[in-house]
Amino acid sequence: MGPEPEVSESGNGGLGTLKEDSDDTIPGRIEAFNGLSEGSYFSDVLQAKCGHYGDIPSLENTSTQSLFTVTNMILDECVEGKNENIPQRVASILKLVMLEIQERVSKQAQNMRKQSTLYNSREERYQSKIRALETLATGTTEENEVVMNQLRQMKLEKTKIEEVLKLEQHDLTILRQEKDRCESLILSLEEEIRLTKQDYEEKCFQLEARAEETKDKLLKKILELERLLTDSRNKVKELEDFSESKFLRWKRKEHGYRHFIDSQFESLQDLRLASESIKQEVSKIKNVYAEEFYHFGVNIKGLIDAAQNYHSVLEENRKLYNEVQDLKGNIRVYCRIRPFLPGQSRKQTTIQYIGENGELVVINPLKPGKDSHRLFKFNKVFGPASTQEEVFRDTQPLIRSVLDGYNVCIFAYGQTGSGKTYTMTGPNATSIVDWGVNYRALNDLFNISQNRHSSIAYEVGVQMVEIYNEQVRDLLCNDSFQKRLGIWNSSQPNGLAVPDASMHPVKSTSDVLELMNIGLMNRAVGATALNERSSRSHSILTVHVRGTDLETNAVLRGCLHLVDLAGSERVDRSEATGDRLREAQHINRSLSALGDVIFALAQKNPHVPYRNSKLTQVLQSSLGGQAKALMFVQLNPDVESYSETISTLKFAERVSGVELGAARSNKEGRGVRELMEQVATLKDAVSKKDEEIVRLRLLKTNGNSSIGVGRSSQQLSGVKSSDGKAAFDMDNSSEYSDKHSDAGSQQSVDDFRHHKEFFQQSKLAAAGGTENYLEDVESNLNLADGGKSPNGGIQFLESGDADTDEKLSDMSDGVLSLGTQTDASINSIPEIAKLSADSTEKRNVPVELPRPPTKQGQAGSSRLSFSRSSTKVPSSKRATLGSSSAVKLPKNWH
């Protein structure tokens, strides 16, 4: 197959170029074209359609369609008659156009012909090729299959390649993303680098600035150093000069010292010689000293022995001191300081120092100064951290002595909230650690009695009472809950302080716990009814112990009073009214009475005013009468309680000085016990007899008109004796429960009236001394009479205040003291007891019966001693002779 002939197609649609029939030469055409200048319209059309103007040869490049269009337009105009006169030039142009068209058409026809021949030959060639291919195709089917396989293979490869391409596409996407990320990273890094660079540049700039500064500084320093160097060089020079001169001086000094050493050496030689001689002397003295040391050692050994003994002696002393205290019967005073309660931790304390040996220093932090410190000393001071067990450990020996037949009284004194109940009962009966003295004491008593059961059989009984507003209430008696109880004299044979109160035998601690629970509940019930009154009443737990010696049948009686007193704080009368005022008065009075009793005991007064309050009456057997007593002084460390703390401590200080006398055990054989009971009944009889005797004597004296003053005084003694007698009766009467008891006062008044009438009738009434005395007695009895006499007693009583009561109590005590004295003498002197017995026997003997003068004198002297002294003493002074008035303290003395 040869190369195919080129088919050339011009842009004029294959029409070729126009040729002028007449003159188809180029210069002819140009000429014809130039003639068109006249017909500018045609040239415009030609320019518009062909894009040429004035250039004839450009017709060749003009498309055939444009040529036709131009021609048509011209022809149309001619047809329409718009332009009838077609210029020559236009006609020639038309000719040209037509020629061009003709030329092109002929060329086109030639080309067509050529092409058709070309196509024919090509067709033939293809036909032959097809034939050849058909022959080839039949012969090469197998090859085709191979080719097909190859094609399939290739297809597969293509799909694989496509897959690979897809994967690569995917990878490409990932790579593109990665690239994007990298690009953004690169961008951020670039940004960072830019910033760092900027920063670095700034730093560099700063460093450069600093370096510049440092450089300046260094330069300055260098200059400075150079200056210093020059200075130091100068100085070195100076120093060299100086050292040179010093060296010279030292050299001179060395010379001097050498000389000195030489001289010293010489003197050393001398000293050596001297020391030799001294050595000899020293060795002589040494020998002497050795001898003396030996003697000294012997003496020291003796001293060491003595010193070693000193501690045991001290211990012994301590024991002896305690024994002496026991013998003296000092009331022991333990002070216990309550800790601050939760929520009070930031409060200021008044307690500054607690000593080992019972010293206590109290301060007033609100008024600091040298006078704000006060030192007190007691048997023991328990700090706020002391436990219930520690407190009991020091109380235990006292409680144990109850089992040996002693009477013991333990009472807690202090203002409300200072911890009295905490010490005596404890905050929680169910927890043994919290048990107060009460539970521990009874627990201890049972333990010891158990240990001694082979030799002594103990019986223990418990009473529990409360004193509120001078009324005694049995806390263990449910039936007669509101029952008021009378007070018996504690010297009665059964030894019960409150005989009407129910006595409950107990055999174990659990019995006690049960009973005390009942007691506390009864107290609480009372408290609900009458408002919170636990701090305004005294509660007394009395433990009676009776031990019978299994061998000798001897009986021991011990009595333990455990008293939780009412709050000791003074209530301002102006603030309290109604029930509160009454309570306050009763508390003040009973605590004052307790103070009076204790102070009378401290003064060793013959009369102790136990009867001034129910409290002191109940405690009589354990206060005085050779009992052992312990007072817990409870303190609230709070600074607001400072003044109460000080008055409590002052009271305690006075109490600690009280000596009750050596404690005596209540041991009785069977005989003694019976005799005691007899003595009690005989005492009654003796007193009545004495009274009768005195009256008869007075009657007898009345008959004798010539009696002298001296005698009248004796009779007056009898009057006084009669008063004393009356008091004695009262003292022994179970009916008499108060110093203001109507019965007692009335009796005294009656006695007095009887004697006054008698004296008024007698001529003796004129005697001055007697009259004075009578006036005194009268005034006294008027007071006791409840102010019925017109001599001023009315106002005194009607004022109704505690002072009046106390004065009355003093009066009464003054009278009562004689009775007490007599009691003691009768109890202790067997002869008197015998005399009493005699009197009982002779109860019905007429008055005339002569009495042995000596015995009567004895009996009388015990009662008359007071009146004998009083007859000669002016009335103003006599007022101080009553025992109670003598020991009378200011009302608020505690």
Q: Which residues are part of a known binding site for ATP?
A: 414-421
Q: Cβ of residue 437: shortest distance to ligand ATP, in angstroms? A: 12
Binding to ligand ATP (CB under 6 A) within 281-340 occurs at: 338-339
Token pair of 891 as six digits: 């009302």
Task: Name the pairing type of β-strands 666-668 and 555-564.
Answer: antiparallel
Of 631 and 726, which CB lies nearer to ligand ATP in the complex structure? 631
- Reduced to 3 states (helix: H, G, I; strand: E, B; else coil), residue 238 is helix
Contact segment (CB under 6 A) with ligand ATP among 277-285, 420-428, 613-621, 694-702 equals: 420-428
In whole angstroms, what is the distance from residue 746 CA to residue 781 CA? 9
For residues 467 and 618, is the Cβ–Cβ distance under 8 A?
yes
With a CB cutoff of 8 Å and minimum separation 6, the contacts of 743 are 730, 733, 735, 736
Contact segment (CB under 6 A) with ligand ATP among 150-158, 421-429, 456-464, 803-811 equals: 421-429
Q: Cβ of residue 841: shortest distance to ligand ATP, in angstroms? A: 54
Half-sphere exposure in the Cβ direction for 267 (13 Å, CA): 5
**Block residue for tokens 């009553």:** 882
**Block residue for tokens 């003997």:** 845
For residues 818 and 724, is the Cβ–Cβ distance under 8 A?
yes
Q: Which of 17, 62, 535, 862 binds ligand ATP (CB under 6 A)?
A: 535
Q: Cβ of residue 524: shortest distance to ligand ATP, in angstroms? A: 12
Residue 891 belongs to what H/E stretch?
none
Of 414 and 860, which CB lies nearer to ligand ATP in the complex structure? 414
Of 535 and 588, which CB lies nearer to ligand ATP in the complex structure? 535
Q: Cβ of residue 385: shortest distance to ligand ATP, in angstroms? A: 9
Of 348 and 741, which CB lies nearer to ligand ATP in the complex structure? 348
In whole angstroms, what is the distance from residue 579 CA to residue 507 CA? 40
Q: How many CB atoms lie within 10 A of CB 499?
A: 17
Residue 428 interacts with ligand ATP (CB under 6 A): yes or no: no
Q: Cβ of residue 424: shortest distance to ligand ATP, in angstroms? A: 8
Of 87 and 383, which CB lies nearer to ligand ATP in the complex structure? 383
Q: Exposed, middle or buried by CB within 10 Å (0-12, 13-18, 19+), for 798? A: exposed
Of 416 and 714, which CB lies nearer to ligand ATP in the complex structure? 416
Residue 464 belongs to what H/E stretch?
strand 456-468
Residue 419 interacts with ligand ATP (CB under 6 A): yes or no: yes
Apex CA 268: angle with CA 266 and CA 269, to 5°?
Answer: 65
Of 551 and 575, which CB lies nearer to ligand ATP in the complex structure? 575
Q: Cβ of residue 530: shortest distance to ligand ATP, in angstroms? A: 14
Token pair of 880 as six digits: 């101080």
Number of chain positions touching ligand ATP (CB under 6 A): 16
Phi, psi torsion values for 669, nearest 5 degrees: -80, 175
Q: Cβ of residue 330: shortest distance to ligand ATP, in angstroms? A: 24
The annotation places the binding site at: 414-421
Binding to ligand ATP (CB under 6 A) within 399-418 occurs at: 414, 416-418
In whole angstroms, what is the distance from residue 345 CA to residue 100 CA? 134
Q: Cβ of residue 340: shortest distance to ligand ATP, in angstroms? A: 9
In whole angstroms, what is the distance from residue 147 CA to residue 137 CA? 12
* Per-residue three-class SS string for 35-88: HHHCCHHHHHHHHHHHCCCCCHHHHHHCCHHHHHHHHHHHHHHHHHCCCCCCCH
The whole-angstrom distance between residue 39's C-alpha and the CA centroid of its chain comes to 133
Of 186 and 341, which CB lies nearer to ligand ATP in the complex structure? 341
Residue 537 interacts with ligand ATP (CB under 6 A): yes or no: no
For residues 42 and 93, is the Cβ–Cβ distance under 8 A?
yes
Q: Which of 57, 297, 397, 427 binds ligand ATP (CB under 6 A)?
A: 427
- Reduced to 3 states (helix: H, G, I; strand: E, B; else coil), residue 188 is helix
Residue 146 interacts with ligand ATP (CB under 6 A): yes or no: no
Of 422 and 758, which CB lies nearer to ligand ATP in the complex structure? 422
Looking at the DSSP bridge assignments, the partners of residue 466 are 473, 539
Of 401 and 418, which CB lies nearer to ligand ATP in the complex structure? 418
Binding to ligand ATP (CB under 6 A) within 552-581 occurs at: 567
Catalogue the E-assigned strands of 508-599.
Answer: 538-549, 555-564
DSSP string, 714-774: HHHHHHHHHHHHHHHHHHH-SS--STT-HHHHHHHHHHHHHHHHHHHHSGGGG-HHHHHHH
Of 33 and 422, which CB lies nearer to ligand ATP in the complex structure? 422
Of 419 and 724, which CB lies nearer to ligand ATP in the complex structure? 419
Apex CA 108: angle with CA 107 and CA 110, to 5°?
Answer: 65
Q: Which of 534, 666, 687, 821 binds ligand ATP (CB under 6 A)?
A: 534
For residues 428 and 516, is the Cβ–Cβ distance under 8 A?
no
Q: Which of 29, 420, 473, 607 binds ligand ATP (CB under 6 A)?
A: 420
Of 412 and 784, which CB lies nearer to ligand ATP in the complex structure? 412
- Reduced to 3 states (helix: H, G, I; strand: E, B; else coil), residue 564 is strand
Apex CA 387: angle with CA 384 and CA 390, to 5°?
Answer: 115
Binding to ligand ATP (CB under 6 A) within 329-348 occurs at: 338-339, 341
Looking at the DSSP bridge assignments, the partners of residue 890 are none
Binding mask 593-632 for ligand ATP (x = CB under 6 A): ----------------------------------------
Q: Cβ of residue 436: shortest distance to ligand ATP, in angstroms? A: 9
Binding mask 637-656 for ligand ATP (x = CB under 6 A): --------------------
Of 382 and 728, which CB lies nearer to ligand ATP in the complex structure? 382
Looking at the DSSP bridge assignments, the partners of residue 504 are 462
Q: Cβ of residue 420: shortest distance to ligand ATP, in angstroms? A: 4
Q: Cβ of residue 803: shortest distance to ligand ATP, in angstroms? A: 25
Residue 634 interacts with ligand ATP (CB under 6 A): yes or no: yes
Q: Cβ of residue 610: shortest distance to ligand ATP, in angstroms? A: 24
In whole angstroms, what is the distance from residue 588 CA to residue 801 CA? 12
Residue 421 interacts with ligand ATP (CB under 6 A): yes or no: yes
**Block residue for tokens 């022959």:** 135
Phi, psi torsion values for 652, nearest 5 degrees: -60, -35
Residue 426 interacts with ligand ATP (CB under 6 A): yes or no: no
Q: Cβ of residue 583: shortest distance to ligand ATP, in angstroms? A: 12
Q: Cβ of residue 427: shortest distance to ligand ATP, in angstroms? A: 4
Residues that bind ligand ATP (CB under 6 A): 338-339, 341, 414, 416-422, 427, 534-535, 567, 634
